[in-house]
Amino acid sequence: MIFGRVAIEQSHRLPTGGEIDRLAPLPFRFDGKAYRGYAGDTLASALLANGVTVVGRSFKYHRPRGVLSAGPEEPNALVELRGGGRKEPNSRATMIELFAGLEATSQHRWPSLALDIMELNDLASRFLVAGFYYKTFMGFPGWRFYEKRIRAAAGMGSGTVEWDPDRYEHMNTHCDVLVAGGGPSGLAAALMAGRAGARVILVEETDGLGGRLRSERETIDDKPAMGWVAKTRAELADMDEVRVLTRTTAFGCYDDNMVGALERVADHLAAPPEHMARQRLWHIRAGRVILATGAIERPLVFGGNDRPGVMLAGAVRSYLHRFAVTPGKRAVVVANNDDGYRTALDLARAGVEVMQVLDTRPAGAGAWRERAVAAGLDVMQRAAVVNAYGRMGVVGCDVATLDGHGGVGDTRYVPCDLIAASGGWSPSVHLHSHGDGKADWDDGIAAFVPGANRLGHVSVGAARGRFGLAEALSDGLKAGAEAAKACGFAIGAHPDTPITDEIATAPLKAIWSIPGPTDRTVKRFVDLQDDVTIDDIALAHREGFVSVEHLKRYTTLGMGTDQGKTSNITGHALLAEARGQPIPTVGTTRFRPPYTPVAMAAFAGAERGLHFSPVRRSAMHDWHAEHGAVFVEAGAWLRPQYYLRPGVTKAKAVMDRAIETEVRAVRSKVGLVDVSTLGKIDIQGPDAAEFLNRVYANGFKALPVGKARYGLMLREDGIVDDDGTTSRLGDTHYLMTTTTAHAAKVLADLEWYLQVVWPDLDVRVTSVTEQWAAMALAGPKAREVLAAAADHGTAVSNDALPYLGVINGSIAGVPVRLFRISFSGELGYEVNVPADWGTSVWEALIAAGEPHGITPYGMEAMGILRIEKGHVTHAELDGRITLDDVGMGRMASSKKWFVGRGMLDKPAFIDPERPKLVGLVPVDGKTRIPAGAILVADPATPPPVPKLGHVASSAYLSPTVGHPIALGFLARGRDRLGETVWAVFPLRNLSVQVKVVEPCFVDPEGSRLHV
């Protein structure tokens, strides 16, 4: 019978109670071994139920470690969860919800958890003190040698190189009131705000509501408190404007009340259902933020306090009540506050043998103590555990009285397999601190509590150091009401705070470390994960690392996956003791998001793979794809790089041939290229001409209607920014084109000048890039093709459409704009077509061009054509180039002011030594001149070699001139025409002797343009 077997297997499971579903047993594996737990378990509770004590190994000394906590603060019980692309190292067993078939393995040990040879580090621990590595490994054979070994020993879990198959996504939402934390205070706050009609979001990290109530036995209005939780949950569920998200961690507070929250949508399942995200990252923009994040219990520092079986007292109660697990059979309880008694009573009630209850506080009365005594527990006051024994699990401990002056009385050995310890509770001030909130020290609870908060975040309940249930509830009700009110909602009657049956607690008395045996092999840990001991803190202090931030970085205190949730305050307090200063003077280290670690993929959301960044497609994209285009990206656009004939593969030679074919077609017949990607800006208004005249370096005022002109824009610092043609379509109407890459920037700049700099100019600018598909028809036969394609009434003769002329026309019934401009140096036209008709017109031109051998061409051919003509692009205009550098200094109008003109006379800009644009050809007539080569006088010079310039763009073969050509910048280049220099490419061991020529290789007179 299954149930019978499970009961026996789960040796530490209580027969009744807990939030687990005993009808749903779940098989799982840890380190290959099969176990069973129940739905509702975490991996940690299921392991404890099965009597598994050792779950992980510590970072530095590889000491065996068990489960310390029952929450996200867990420093010890880290495992590798799942496998393949879903493997997740460093997963906290205390937060992993059990599912059928769960597989986890221990990490950071070799060969096995039980036998880990790196445990030798523990023996060598005397040498491996804080910061030892700064003092050695400096000599032979070099740091890299040691580093390899250290790196292999460091790290915790191992990652994977497989890709994660799961989906991630973001979700945005706005609310009036955000409540972080679904404990009693958070629920009360949400309830009040919700009742007022506010839009409320409550996020709760765990799988259910109730917070600490799930782990305690408390009552509200004389009924079990979890009943109140259920009732509240139901009421919230009925409110349309309230959203409760469980399994959702508020991980960071950012500016203006933006809270980041991670919802683990499917982590409690073996795999996410299809189309569902594994995790969803919420951007919550809140009017008011209420932090009801509770508090985190601190361990006590005593000898061997890291042994498996030493647990937080509150976690012991969680395992008892929430999971019906007894983490041990014989317990010692030690605390500096009343939680010891509470825990001992609960343990005893669950049938655990309580060997000893130790209260580190001086003798005194207290309701809790009296209860414990009345229950027959063996209570010792002013006493503590001083040393725990047991390598793979606690077997016993020494207990002793404390003399109050750092000494101990006689020790007595107490056998036990569980030590429940409580050093008090620290409010979770993390989120409060992210938003610039200050933390104030509260001596009463020996912890930091939220102080002033500029953003108006309000902390309530345990998060504010109010540890009583009634306090938490009333705090929450009040904050919820106030928040709703602040958002403009009317508040109804304030309900009475529910009544609880709490027992008054006696004050805590901090004790930061328990004096222990002088034996140096006994370690007392402050930070369990990173193995920071009190000796490390003393050493850091001795060496002058006396700021908390130095202490942290020198000892790694609080730098583990738990970020010191259970250790920071103790460590800082110990430093304060060593410095002889009060804790608030010493302070605390800075809290940073995320509150608990967040997967990179969750941050990235859906922006992965091809959707990492949107691509843009031209109107003729599908045509290109159907006709063998190989695409390349240019400024988010996919553009044909070249076209392959059917059946031809993409080998380099083929590619070169394709390009050559395309170039030849343009020079000898006619080609068609998609230039839709060029930016197009519609400029209209009475001051449009004046405006253009100011933003372009060359004059634009005299441009007649129906004409286009090439223009250059400078940045304010005088450097060339962008170029393109601008056409005057009407009296006050212009169309500007920009380069593909700069289109967005140029538009933003124009808007800048109009809105901010010259608000007196009456001009409107709009991007029409997407409205118009654009294609350039170029080649000696271009006019014939255009004439054949054009509709009746559209005349394209040299008279009707002269060089740089602009007319409206129609092709295939589509109204088009025709521009007689050319980038290739051939007779050319640009045709602008409303985008939805782009393909129709393109096809019409192809059809009309068929008899003339029309060839579509791509970016590569266009690149060669423009290099042959010496036209510059971004390869030349790299953000450091002046007009003069590219030989266009004369274009700058001297008659007017334009952007950048004030900078042109800077000494460096008029220095005759500046590299100038030149053409380059190989002296041997055949060797390629690779782009990126550097121009030097003599390739044999040893470094550092004086550099004369560089090769900016290169055509490995200009089909038109029959040899390689290139454009480059050469110091005093204009004076060196005819000279030879060397283009060197030491990365590939190449050097080419090149002749300096004019930067135009084809038709320098431009006669082909004007036919």
Partner 1 sequence: MIRIPCPHCGPRDHAEFSYAGDATKIRPADPDAATAADWHDYVYFRDNPRGPHMEYWHHTQGCRAYVKVLRDTSTHEVLAAGMPGDTLEAGR
Partner 2 sequence: MSESTTPPPRRSALANVWHPGDHGRIGFTGPQVTLRERRDITAIQLDAQRGTTDGVGKAVAAAFGLGLPGPGRATTTGDVRALWLGPDRWLLQTATPADLEPRLRSLTEGVGGVVVDQSHGRTILRIEGAKARDTLAKSTGIDLHPRAFAENAVAQTSLFQLAVTIDRRRGTSIFDVHAMRGFAVHLYEALLDAGGEYGVRLV
Partner 3 sequence: MAEYSVFSLIRNALGGHKDWIRAWRDPEPKKHYDVIVIGGGGHGLATAYYLARNHGITNVAVLEKGWIGGGNVGRNTTIVRSNYMLDGNAHFYEHSLKLWEGLSRDLNYNVMFSQRGVLNLGHSDGQMDAYARRGNTMRLNGVDAELLDRKDVQRLYPHLDFSAAARFPIYGGLLQARGGTARHDAVAWGFARGADRLGVDIIQNCEVTGFERDGNRVTGIQTTRGTIGCGRVGMAVAGNTSRVAAMAGLRLPIESHVLQAFVSEPLKPLVDGVITYGAGHFYISQSDKGGLVLGGDLDFYNSYAQRGNLPTVEHVMACGLAMMPYLGRVRILRGWGGLMDMSMDGSPIISKTPIDNLYLNAGWCYGGFKATPGSGYVFAHTIANDTPHDFNKAMTLDRFATGHLIDEGGKGPTPKLH
Ligand X SMILES: NC(=O)c1ccc[n+]([C@@H]2O[C@H](COP(=O)([O-])OP(=O)(O)OC[C@H]3O[C@@H](n4cnc5c(N)ncnc54)[C@H](O)[C@@H]3O)[C@@H](O)[C@H]2O)c1
Ligand Y SMILES: Cc1cc2nc3c(=O)[nH]c(=O)nc-3n(C[C@H](O)[C@H](O)[C@H](O)COP(=O)(O)O)c2cc1C
Residues near ligand Y (CB under 6 A): 549, 559, 563, 590, 592
625 sits near partner 3 (criterion: CB under 8 A): no
Pick from 370, 368, 310: which is nearest to 337 by CA?
368
Pick from 349, 347, 298, 356: which is nearest to 327 by CA?
347
Interacting span for partner 3 (CB under 8 A) from 22-30, 176-184, 771-779, 931-939: 931-939
143 contact, one of partner 1, ligand Y, partner 3, none, CB 5-8 Å limit per kind: partner 3
Residues 587-599: b if buried by 16+ CB within 10 A, e if exposed: bbbebebbbbbbb
Q: Give CA 812 to chain center in angstroms.
A: 50
Hey, what are 51's tokens?
């009597």
Report the distance separating Cα 633 and Cα 640, nearest Å: 9
Distances (CA, A) of 847 to 226, 816, 843: 78, 17, 6
Among 429, 692, 934, 992, binds partner 3 (CB under 8 A): 934
By C-beta, is 109 or 195 nearer to partner 3? 109
Pick from 914, 911, 892: which is nearest to 902 by CA?
892
Hey, what are 979's tokens?
């000279």
339 contact, one of partner 1, partner 3, ligand X, none, CB 5-8 Å limit per kind: ligand X
618 sits near partner 2 (criterion: CB under 8 A): yes
By C-beta, is 33 or 454 nearer to partner 1? 454
829 sits near partner 2 (criterion: CB under 8 A): no
Residue nearest to ligand Y (CB): 559
Write the binding mask 210 to 239 for ligand X: x where contact by CB under 6 A, - elsewhere.
-xxx--------------------------
Tell me the closest approach of the beta carbon of residue 767 to partner 1, in angstroms.
9
**8 A C-beta contact, residue 143 and residue 137:** yes
485 sits near partner 2 (criterion: CB under 8 A): no
Report the distance separating Cα 915 and Cα 880, nearest Å: 11
944 contact, one of partner 3, partner 1, ligand Y, none, CB 5-8 Å limit per kind: partner 3
Pick from 213, 182, 216: which is nearest to 200 by CA?
182
Hey, what are 632's tokens?
């390349």
649 contact, one of ligand X, partner 3, partner 2, none, CB 5-8 Å limit per kind: none
Among 468, 587, 834, 932, binds partner 2 (CB under 8 A): 834
By C-beta, is 182 or 437 nearer to ligand X? 182
DSSP label of 934: E
438 contact, one of ligand X, partner 2, partner 3, none, CB 5-8 Å limit per kind: none
Handedness of CA 476, 482, 488, 489 (dihedral sign): positive
**8 A C-beta contact, residue 709 and residue 725:** yes
Write the binding mask 138 to 177 for partner 3: x where contact by CB under 8 A, - elsewhere.
xx---xx--x--xxx-xxxxxxxxxxx-x-x-x-------
By C-beta, is 611 or 906 nearer to partner 1? 906
Site for ligand X in 471-530 (CB under 6 A): 472
By C-beta, is 553 or 950 nearer to ligand Y? 553
User: How many CB atoms are located within 10 Å of the residue 893 CB?
Assistant: 16
**8 A C-beta contact, residue 194 and residue 200:** yes
Report the distance separating Cα 386 and Cα 397, nearest Å: 7
376 sits near partner 3 (criterion: CB under 8 A): no
534 sits near ligand X (criterion: CB under 6 A): no
Tell me the closest approach of the beta carbon of residue 86 to partner 1, in angstroms.
31
Report the distance separating Cα 964 and Cα 922, nearest Å: 7
Pick from 203, 141, 163, 74: which is nearest to 601 by CA?
163
Interacting span for ligand X (CB under 6 A) from 200-208, 271-279, 739-747, 780-788: 200-208
838 sits near ligand X (criterion: CB under 6 A): no
Among 29, 223, 349, 592, binds partner 3 (CB under 8 A): 592
Report the distance separating Cα 854 and Cα 861, nearest Å: 14
559 contact, one of ligand Y, partner 2, partner 1, none, CB 5-8 Å limit per kind: ligand Y
Tell me the closest approach of the beta carbon of residue 564 to ligand Y, in angstroms.
8
By C-beta, is 198 or 312 nearer to partner 1? 198
Question: What amino acid occupies position 229?
Answer: V
169 sits near partner 2 (criterion: CB under 8 A): yes
Please compute Rg for the chain using Cα positions: 38
On the CB side of 453, CA atoms within 13 Å amount to: 27
Report the distance separating Cα 876 and Cα 647, nearest Å: 36
738 sits near partner 2 (criterion: CB under 8 A): no
**8 A C-beta contact, residue 282 and residue 171:** yes
Phi, psi dihedrals of residue 258, rounded to the nearest 5°:
-90, 120
878 sits near partner 3 (criterion: CB under 8 A): yes
Pick from 824, 789, 831: which is nearest to 676 by CA?
831
Hey, what are 612's tokens?
């990492």
Report the distance separating Cα 304 and Cα 390, nearest Å: 9
Among 45, 839, 855, 953, binds partner 2 (CB under 8 A): 839
798 sits near partner 2 (criterion: CB under 8 A): no
Which residues of this chain interact with partner 1, rule CB under 8 A? 254-256, 258, 283, 285, 436, 454, 716-717, 748, 751-752, 755-757, 759, 897, 901-903, 905-906
C-alpha triplet 680, 683, 687: angle, nearest 5° = 155
Site for ligand X in 454-473 (CB under 6 A): 461-463, 467-469, 472
C-alpha triplet 848, 851, 854: angle, nearest 5° = 70
840 sits near partner 2 (criterion: CB under 8 A): yes
Tell me the closest approach of the beta carbon of residue 283 to partner 1, in angstroms.
7
Tell me the closest approach of the beta carbon of residue 578 to partner 3, in angstroms.
13
Report the distance separating Cα 934 and Cα 941, nearest Å: 13
Interacting span for partner 2 (CB under 8 A) from 111-119, 482-490, 678-686, 849-857: 678-686
Interhelix angle 184-195/469-486, rounded to 10 degrees, is: 30
DSSP annotation string for 322-384: TT-B-S-SEEEEEESSTHHHHHHHHHHHTT-EEEEEEE-SPS---HHHHHHHHTT--EEESEE
By C-beta, is 472 or 695 nearer to ligand X? 472
Interacting span for partner 3 (CB under 8 A) from 677-685, 700-708, 907-915, 992-1000: 907-915
Write the binding mask 589 to 618 for ligand X: x where contact by CB under 6 A, - elsewhere.
------x-----------------------
Tell me the closest approach of the beta carbon of residue 358 to partner 2, in angstroms.
53
204 sits near ligand X (criterion: CB under 6 A): yes
For tokens 């590569």, what's the residue?
Answer: 860
By C-beta, is 533 or 676 nearer to partner 3? 533
Report the distance separating Cα 536 and Cα 131, nearest Å: 9
DSSP annotation string for 639-697: EEEEE--TT----HHHHHHHHHHHHHHHHHS-EEEE-TTSEEEEEESTTHHHHHHHHBS
By C-beta, is 442 or 682 nearer to partner 2? 682
174 contact, one of partner 3, partner 2, partner 1, none, CB 5-8 Å limit per kind: partner 2
By C-beta, is 526 or 673 nearer to partner 2? 673
791 sits near partner 2 (criterion: CB under 8 A): yes
By C-beta, is 206 or 474 nearer to ligand X? 206
By C-beta, is 173 or 411 nearer to partner 2? 173
Determine which helix (DSSP H) or strand (DSSP E) holds 168, and give its type and residue range. Answer: strand 167-180
Binding site for ligand X (CB under 6 A): 180-186, 203-206, 211-213, 249-250, 292-295, 339, 425, 428, 431, 461-463, 467-469, 472, 595
Binding site for partner 2 (CB under 8 A): 169-174, 199, 273-277, 283, 285, 606-607, 611, 613-619, 622, 637, 676, 682, 684-686, 762, 764, 766, 768-772, 787-792, 811-815, 834-840, 844, 848
